[in-house]
Amino acid sequence: MEKQQELEWAKAQKIATNLDLVAAAKKQLRFLAEVDRHRYLYDGPSLVRAIHRYKYCWLPLLAKHAKSPVTKSPLVAPLDCEWIWHCHRLNPVCYRNDCKELYGRILGTWNVVSSTQAVCKEQTEEFWNRTYPTEPYELNPSTQLVESVGEAILGAQKTTEYDLVSAVKRQSSFYYQVSSPHMKNDTFLEEAVASYKGFLHLIKRNQERSIKHFSVPTYDVDLIWHSHQLHPVSYCKDLVAIIGRVLEHDDTDSDRSKGKKLDTGFSGTTKQWEETFGSRYWKAGAMHRSDAPSPLKISLGELDNSNKNDTASNQYQSIIQLPKKKLIEVMVEIVEVRDLPAEHNGGLSVILSKKQPDLYFNGRRMSILSKAAKKDVAVFRCEPTGELIFELVSYPSSVSHIARPEKILGTALISLHDLMKTGSPLSIEKWFALVPNSGIVGSKPVNLRIALSFTPPVQAPSLLHMVQTRPCTTSCFFPLSGSFQQDETWTCVVDEDGNRIINLQMRYSKKAEAKDKKEVIGMTSSGERLVLAEFAGTGWSLMNSSWWFQPHEIITDASRIFELTGSHKVIVFPGRKLEYEIKCEKHKSEENFMTAVKFSAEYPHGKAVALFDLKSASLKVNEEWLGFPGILLAFLLSDTPRNESNGQFNTDGESAKEMDTDSKQYANTSSKEDRTTNQIQDMEDTAKATTQEPYKSGDECDCGVVAQVEVMGGKGTGVVKNVTGEENYSNGSKAIINSGTYCSNLLGLVGSDSASHITLEDEAKSAHCGGCGSCHGGCGGCGSQTASSIFQGEAANSPHCGGCGSCHGGCGGCGSCHGSSCGQDQQ
């Protein structure tokens, strides 16, 4: 059977096209990104006008050019017309018929270039203006449509009756599905072309056997298929040669509900592919990403786009060293097992884990396709290092009140380092001979067929934590509480491995002329102290005036937002926005999160660049330039009081009360500084203890998304490690782990597949202490000190929690929602 499957794949790869499909796919991605920057072309009056211009201006001009070139240089389509042309061509049969009926030939792309290519369009614009003097070459969405232009040019001539409005709306969501960085990778696209040929081969076989089947592509295949269709002359010629007809492209179905046409078509295509070629159809990075996140209600055009010089920012950036790690998405399926011991009579499963600790993945249990008769696919993100461990486990098949232990039949290892070698394919599927466990005797080893695919590595976000020390008898850690920090209190920023990045402290200025103004002090690893932020007027000057941070005048959803201006324009929104957005309503608690969004010409509708979790005092930074200012933002935001009635940040009240006299005296006594220096090493040592490998179980949220939760010791002295049952902390507290119902993106961290409720039980549950919570690992209670604001002019009249030593953990995303959906288009 395997030999026949290999022959089928070889036949598929002999399919030839008259087009460089990899280059065409890259051009398409660039064009779709440009259209997405002009979202007025997706709907509304601008879309209607673009369609009018396409039908009455661009198509007639293109027809003239096809007969005899109207310009010496290539013809360049206006962006709006090119977008409508793009959507029209993605119904290849309709487009061919319209062109032949209206113009007598298929209007192709010969001597025509995209508006996104760096070519001169002056000649095209001149010819357009001579031909259509009342209609400008570039669409201005703010001007009125000249309705008479169509009649003046075409008179009574017919035009296409294809519903272009619906076609555009169907294609508007496609870019989000193919906009991940790996989609531009040469190896990924080359393999997508090979899969596209396999897809066409299946359709050809069905046609030869008179089998009617609704074939549905994965998104990598769909990207290549679209790229082929966008060259209509080549597409029609190639498809007639391959299957004897122009292949229809049906994108009218979008309902992915179970049992619907799209779902059953994709399941049938998956089954046929795997039977025909003997390889997995589903592929990492090629599956449906869920719906696009909700757009923000402001865009670049509504913001002041002035930026500051970033010279000082670059100088400060060299002070800290953020972790640099890579990240891949992995999809695993256990296909089959053979050569089991004769005496085996129980159930089977496979435990998947990593040999080395991994920040993003810590394992899960999987069933075997040939035994379970249904797909069980693990999709997760991990570092592209170390080895994956596959343990085949036997367990009793009968239900018994007496628990019998599982038995490990054998183990296989897959080196991720070897898979990452240059030129290696992005997927493997083969038999692995398991190394038998000690005590397992058999004539030959058990064999396990494992299918694994992965995306090319990309830069991983930096995950940072803030932990705080006070002059206690023992070190203690808790999230920033919103209270103004005294001079003995330092906040240590550490990375995911517990390495110290920098120490921060907020205090009153020691300058005589500004002694009542706040400032943020940083202590580097060498012990050097720097003034990193100073309050000035209505906001904060950061990093020697290279950044300015203040409340923004725009209020969205009755919530105040913040603005960071420097080498980039950043708006900080309350809640989790854009790619951090939570789809599961059950777990959509937003009050402790804020999202930093970058606005630029490339991202006029915003790109999420950081997520702040104020409850667990952690931040996730996606771009290196935001490292230092992001740390300062997290520190300042964690010290900002919120309105208790709605959970939003309060920046409109009166000035915060002064620190008490003792605190002021302490802040101005230089001899006290030496005492804090002695505490830093203790703080760093304990910080490493609290940022060990996160625990992850394997339960699934009832919303259908598998989740994870990070657990850091409430006192900084213990880490939960077991999957079930109890784990004692060194302070005597007991952690009860309840199989969870947390959604996978509670913190927005990429990760794997588990969830747990963590409850600390302690014989002393009093919350009278307003301190750090270190006494018993629980909540420190409601501190009596007045909350202090980071912004002058804020009210500070509500008490704040003294800090919970146990709430550092946050849930991480699993990536598993990629795995069971499919591409939008079908045949």
pLDDT at 95: 96
Look up residue 14 and give its DSSP letter: T
Band (pLDDT 50/70/90 cuts) for residue 551 is confident
**Number of domains the chain contains:** 3
In tens, the pLDDT along 526-545 reads 888 889 999 988 899 998 88
Q: pTM of the entire structure?
A: 0.78
In tens, the pLDDT along 679-731 reads 434 444 444 443 333 323 333 343 433 333 222 222 222 222 222 222 222 33
Instruction: Give a yes or no: residue 177 inside a domain.
Output: yes
Residue 240, token pair as written in the block: 């007639």
CATH number, domain of 443, equals 2.60.40.150
Instruction: Give a yes or no: residue 381 inside a domain.
Output: yes
Does residue 337 sit in the same domain as residue 448?
yes
In tens, the pLDDT along 351-390 reads 999 998 898 998 999 999 988 888 899 999 999 999 999 9
Instruction: Give a yes or no: residue 445 inside a domain.
Output: yes
Instruction: Give a yes or no: residue 137 inside a domain.
Output: yes
Domain that holds residue 74: 43-170
Does residue 165 sit in the same domain as residue 177?
no
Boundary of a domain, candidates 115, 140, 170: 170
Does residue 58 sit in the same domain as residue 156?
yes
- The whole-angstrom separation of Cα 724 and Cα 726 is 7
Boundary of a domain, candidates 439, 459, 479: 459
Does residue 12 sit in the same domain as residue 112?
no
Helices (H), 493-569: none
- The whole-angstrom separation of Cα 668 and Cα 272 is 76
- How many other CB atoms sit within 10 Å of the CB of residue 346? 14
Does residue 100 sit in the same domain as residue 218?
no
Instruction: Give a yes or no: residue 650 inside a domain.
Output: no
Instruction: Give a yes or no: residue 499 inside a domain.
Output: no
Does residue 121 sit in the same domain as residue 179?
no
CA 693 to chain centre: 22
Boundary of a domain, candidates 141, 170, 199: 170
- The whole-angstrom separation of Cα 261 and Cα 279 is 24
Does residue 180 sit in the same domain as residue 164?
no
Asked whether residue 107 carries a pLDDT value surpassing 70, the answer given is yes
- How many other CB atoms sit within 10 Å of the CB of residue 144? 8
Euclidean distance between the first and the last CA atom of the chain, given in angstroms as a whole number = 28
Does residue 154 sit in the same domain as residue 61?
yes
Look up residue 54 and give its DSSP letter: I
Cβ(467)–Cβ(683) below 8 Å: yes
Q: Which residues lie below 8 Å from residue 694, measured CB to CB, with a gap of 6+?
A: 359, 362, 708, 709, 710, 711, 712, 751, 809, 812
- The whole-angstrom separation of Cα 745 and Cα 341 is 42
Contacts of 368-377 spanning 24+ positions with Cβ under 8 A: 368/334, 368/335, 368/336, 368/337, 369/333, 369/334, 369/335, 369/336, 370/335, 370/336, 370/337, 371/337, 371/347, 375/333, 376/333, 376/334, 377/282, 377/331, 377/332, 377/333, 377/819, 377/820
Least confident of 261-275, 635-649, 657-671: 657-671
Instruction: Give a yes or no: residue 611 inside a domain.
Output: no
Per the model's pLDDT, the better-predicted residue between 275 and 585 turns out to be: 275
